Amino acid sequence: MGKLHVFILFFLMITLADCVVAENCQGYDAVPVVPGKYPEGLLIDNGVALATIVVPKDASFAEDYAAKDLQKVLYKMTGVALPIANDCNELNGNRILIGSTQQTDSVVSPTERANLGKEDYLARLSGRDIVLVGGGYYGTIYACAEIYELLGARWYMSGELGECIPKLDTVRINNLDVRRSPSFKMRWIGGNLNWSMRNRLNCVQNNPEMPPAFTIKPVQQIWDDGYIGLFHTQQDLLPDEQYFANHPEYYALVDGKRSTNINLRKLCNSNPAVAIEVAKNLAKLVRENPNIDLLNFSPTDGWEHCECEQCRKLDEPNVPQDRRYSRRQMILYNRVAEELEKQFPDQKILIGAYHIYAWPPKDTSVKAHKNLAVVICHYEDYCLAHPTNDPSCPPNKRYLELIRQWQKHTSNIFLYEYYAKGNWRGLPWPIVHTIEKDIPFYHSINIAGLYTQWDFSGLIWGNFLDGYVAAKLLWDHTADVQEILDEFYKKFYGRAAVPMRRWHETLEKQLANCGVHMPGNAPRNAHYIFTEKVMKNLKQCIKKAVSLANDDIVKRRLERMAALTEYTDKLANVFRLRKQAVKLEGQEKIKALEKAIHIFEELQRDVDKNPGHYEGISSHITMHTRSMQRMVDQMKKYLVGKQLEQKKDSLLADEEID
């Protein structure tokens, strides 16, 4: 009897018994396990399925997701699809019990399960069963990730090229009995569901059927590609269309008028009605989302703070720029917290510390309300070349002091990181050496969670390793990063591991040792890292790697890395020439500028013409941002003599941050 017939017969039998084999994922041709007693933990033996994936009859979305993902990953590993069945079936062979099946309690006692936190999980082998069960919605999915980890499967970035799944004929799990919990309660890197789940992250916002394990409302939807931000949520809480016509006084007074610029303008902090309305809308969110972890209230980006007399009176005189509006901001945050507390006494509200309200107010009488949690931005004034607790890095010494200051106000501190920098223009961002030190340190000072900007417009190749290492450490701050990296080079680059390790390490070392404190901003700072010597080394690494690679997928990864190297070489050359031009005079200056403009415009045209070649590396948007265009315009103005009378360094005017 063929496989299909066996399947149909089995399907009919159990349908009659009112217990349906769950639908097979991706139409895999799974057959029921043949009766027999199989060795403990043996799931697939020489291409034959010996185990069934078992889900509860009324499986939740998460249990269903976990079962199908496990089936899919094991299929990719072995070419064998394990059957998925409901827990009311009599099943042959070994079983993988997903979540709350009828059989789970025989392996894990109800007391043990009751002690699991919502993201904790147990993975246990006992006799014919492997139990994969979480304390809540997501723990069961993470328990499957435990199996992937054990079997050597890794996802270094989302998409096919990030996937490293070993090819096996036999799958056997030995001596499995673990209980795990995450090191941080918020772990948020990007929005890809599969990638996040397999790396045990918890703030994925893009699946309506599965709310995030750590729920924050509202979040900010930015850009067309669905990138989701943690900050600047004010507009969602007091939307213009609902309030402006009747209450223009809720919004910032700018140049004598109540501003309608919804992307920039802030609220009128001194107006007590603003706090009442914001709290009312936050309360609505709590009622709609009873399991919410954090409400989220922070101002829009940029300027346009209220200029009304009452707001000005809330500000402190003679304070540095980065606490200029801290006092007025805290007063509004506190009023909102006091209002909400009347209905929800313990509900935490996440507030923002950033830009000109980064520090708590100098006025120590203005303390944060007990229900406020804060997210602090590791922003432009700080450094990612060196760890936060590196005392020899003055910007980060100050950043650590900023965290310490906030710790006097709240024990609920979250960090907003830049493990991908928008203004780094897709260039390699070699900060693994910083992340390796930072995340365990953050754990030691009780930071509650971390969000990072990630994968802007899909520009992943320059920063994917940062996100991967961060994901590992956020789950387990004791993870051995050197081990993670040893494994990464081997799995991801195969025979090309040695030269590609040199590629990554060259950049990591250069950033750590180039003598600058690095906040990002490619036009201003990229030349410190991508020197002519460094670029020559990188190109040699790529050449050597390409000559060694024999595996098709490794070749495709190297193609991306080669394209990234070539793009970096060209763009860094533009930035270097521009810096050199400042020090040159006469014809030499003109030549350097002409060359920089020529290379830049050629690259711009090439990115527009060949988007496929630059996929994941650069894009039309990246090459046409206002600040990039402004940089070229400045150089052109020099050449036509419009700015010859100006100071030399006006060529290097600060770049806009975008």
306 touches Zn ion (CB under 5 A): yes
**Of 30, 116, 383, 400, which one interacts with Zn ion (CB under 5 A)?**
383
For residues 548-580, b (16+ Cβ closer than 10 Å) or e, as one string?
bbeeeebeebbebbbbbbbbbbbbbbbbbbbbb
Closest approach of Zn ion to the CB of residue 249, in Å = 8
Helices (H) and strands (E) in the chain, counts: 21, 22
Helical H runs in 183-225?
Answer: 193-198
Helical H runs in 105-227?
Answer: 110-114, 139-151, 193-198
Distance CA 1, CA 501 (A): 52
Task: Between 161 and 383, name the residue whose CB sits nearer to Zn ion.
Answer: 383
Task: Between 38 and 297, name the residue whose CB sits nearer to Zn ion.
Answer: 297
CA distances from 426 to 2, 14, 485 (A): 52, 54, 22
Closest approach of Zn ion to the CB of residue 383, in Å = 3
**How many chain residues touch Zn ion (CB under 5 A)?**
10
Closest approach of Zn ion to the CB of residue 422, in Å = 20
Closest approach of Zn ion to the CB of residue 190, in Å = 26
529 touches Zn ion (CB under 5 A): no
Task: Between 248 and 458, name the residue whose CB sits nearer to Zn ion.
Answer: 248
My answer on whether omega of the bond before 218 falls inside 30° of 0, hence cis, is yes
Distance CA 571, CA 425 (A): 9
**Of 264, 308, 484, 514, which one interacts with Zn ion (CB under 5 A)?**
308
Selected range binding Zn ion among 82-90, 197-205, 379-387, 427-435, rule: CB under 5 A: 379-387
Closest approach of Zn ion to the CB of residue 517, in Å = 3
Dihedral angle of Cα 383, 386, 389, 391, to the nearest 10 degrees: -90
Coil, strand or helix: which one is 258?
A: strand
Distance CA 342, CA 222 (A): 32
Selected range binding Zn ion among 144-152, 215-223, 386-394, 405-413, rule: CB under 5 A: 386-394
Closest approach of Zn ion to the CB of residue 251, in Å = 9
Using CB under 5 A as the binding rule, the residues of this chain from 196 to 215 that contact Zn ion are none
**Tokens found for residue 508:** 């990591």
Q: By rule CB under 5 A, what string of x and - marks binding of each residue 324-363 to Zn ion? A: ----------------------------------------
Task: Between 166 and 272, name the residue whose CB sits nearer to Zn ion.
Answer: 272
Closest approach of Zn ion to the CB of residue 529, in Å = 13
CA distances from 403 to 61, 297, 329, 388 (A): 39, 19, 17, 10
Strands 257-258 and 253-254: antiparallel
Using CB under 5 A as the binding rule, the residues of this chain from 169 to 188 that contact Zn ion are none
**Of 84, 311, 471, 628, which one interacts with Zn ion (CB under 5 A)?**
311
Selected range binding Zn ion among 306-314, 351-359, 530-538, 571-579, rule: CB under 5 A: 306-314
Task: Between 387 and 462, name the residue whose CB sits nearer to Zn ion.
Answer: 387
Selected range binding Zn ion among 86-94, 278-286, 515-523, 623-631, rule: CB under 5 A: 515-523
Task: Between 306 and 607, name the residue whose CB sits nearer to Zn ion.
Answer: 306
CB 376 within 8 A of CB 403: yes
Using CB under 5 A as the binding rule, the residues of this chain from 233 to 272 that contact Zn ion are 268, 270
Q: At CA 628, angle to CA 623 and CA 630, rounded to 5?
A: 140
Closest approach of Zn ion to the CB of residue 270, in Å = 5
Query: How many angstroms separate the first and last alpha carbons of the chain?
Result: 64
CA distances from 634 to 520, 591, 641 (A): 21, 15, 11
Give the phi and the psi of residue 277 in degrees, each rounded to 5. Answer: -70, -45
Selected range binding Zn ion among 219-227, 308-316, 327-335, 397-405, rule: CB under 5 A: 308-316
Selected range binding Zn ion among 39-47, 119-127, 299-307, 432-440, rule: CB under 5 A: 299-307
Q: By rule CB under 5 A, what string of x and - marks binding of each residue 435-474 to Zn ion? A: ----------------------------------------
Place of tokens 């340190």: 441
393 touches Zn ion (CB under 5 A): yes
275 touches Zn ion (CB under 5 A): no
H or E stretch covering 257: strand 257-258
CB atoms within 10 A of CB 124: 19
Distance CA 569, CA 427 (A): 10
CB atoms within 10 A of CB 368: 20
**Of 495, 517, 539, 544, which one interacts with Zn ion (CB under 5 A)?**
517
Q: Which residues bind Zn ion (CB under 5 A)?
A: 268, 270, 306, 308, 311, 383, 385-386, 393, 517
